[in-house]
């Protein structure tokens, strides 16, 4: 049992939407005041992803990716649009998607779909994506909705497609494996708990490593490739 188990799902999701509606549609807003980590984050992500999409052992194509919890398109702009032919963006807050069309600049021509919905309601078309990128958003899903989301993502992968998760993780010693943040209505799961959910959804971790060189006061950030 976690500290959010008695928190109704409707309230959990509604409070998160209310929170994000008040956040400015800027890189600093997307990163909770830590815009200084933007370039470091993108660099770490690119290095982590590279072996799957280029080089002698690469099997994953670069036809289409989806940015889940896309915000104004920070990850789409810095990482996905430069590497993939087409990109979709999924974001619960319409004002962020509206701003993305400006923020992305010339990269916007690569975006096919701006999908306004929460990930608990997002169902990828079967076999559509080579890479499903999910960053700093899984804490906004309940346990059962996260399992279901991962299962739908699995069905949305093209042949040799991958799901990439980049997420804050709490220490494995934390109570219940979850830290609940009432401010933005989200949870930070322990590394062990997150991997347990991955296994429960029928996926497996084929590569993982921690993001390096982030400010010490932040949560540890773990990157995982799932298939």
**Locate tokens 């997420």: which residue?**
167
222 annotated as a binding-site residue? no
Q: Please, what sign has the CA dihedral across residues 168, 173, 178, 184?
A: negative
202 annotated as a binding-site residue? no
Alpha helices by DSSP H, listed for 9-168, are 9-21, 27-30, 38-53, 74-75, 81-83, 94-103, 143-155
How many other CB atoms sit within 10 Å of the CB of residue 12?
A: 19
How many other CB atoms sit within 10 Å of the CB of residue 73?
A: 29
Of 227, 222, 157, 164, the residue nearest 194 (C-alpha): 222
Residues 6+ apart with CB under 8 A from 54: none
189 annotated as a binding-site residue? no
Q: Tell me how far apart the alpha carbons of residues 210 and 49 are, in angstroms, rounded to a whole number.
A: 13
31 annotated as a binding-site residue? no
32 annotated as a binding-site residue? no
How many other CB atoms sit within 10 Å of the CB of residue 207?
A: 15
Annotated binding-site residues for S-adenosyl-L-methionine read 69, 74, 119-120, 135
Annotated binding-site residues read 69, 74, 119-120, 135
């Amino acid at each position: 049992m976690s500290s959010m188990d008695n928190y109704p799902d409707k309230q959990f999701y509604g409070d998160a939407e209310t929170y994000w509606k008040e956040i400015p549609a800027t890189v600093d807003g997307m990163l909770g005041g830590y815009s200084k980590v933007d370039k470091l984050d993108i660099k770490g992500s690119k290095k982590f992803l590279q072996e799957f999409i280029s080089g002698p052992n690469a099997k994953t194509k670069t036809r289409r990716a989806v940015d889940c919890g896309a915000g104004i398109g920070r990850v789409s702009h810095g990482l996905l649009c430069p590497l993939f032919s087409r990109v979709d963006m999924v974001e619960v807050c319409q004002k962020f998607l509206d701003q993305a069309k400006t923020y992305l600049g010339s990269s916007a021509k690569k975006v096919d779909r701006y999908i306004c919905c929460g990930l608990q309601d997002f169902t990828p078309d079967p076999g559509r994506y080579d890479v499903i990128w999910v960053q700093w958003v899984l804490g906004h899903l309940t346990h059962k909705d996260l399992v279901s989301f991962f299962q739908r993502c699995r069905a949305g992968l093209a042949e040799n497609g991958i799901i990439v998760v980049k997420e804050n993780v709490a220490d494995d010693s934390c109570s219940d494996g979850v830290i609940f943040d009432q401010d933005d209505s989200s949870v930070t799961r322990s590394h062990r708990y997150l991997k347990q959910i991955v296994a429960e959804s029928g996926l497996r971790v084929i590569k993982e490593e921690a993001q390096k060189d982030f400010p010490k006061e932040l949560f540890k950030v773990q990157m995982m490739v799932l298939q």
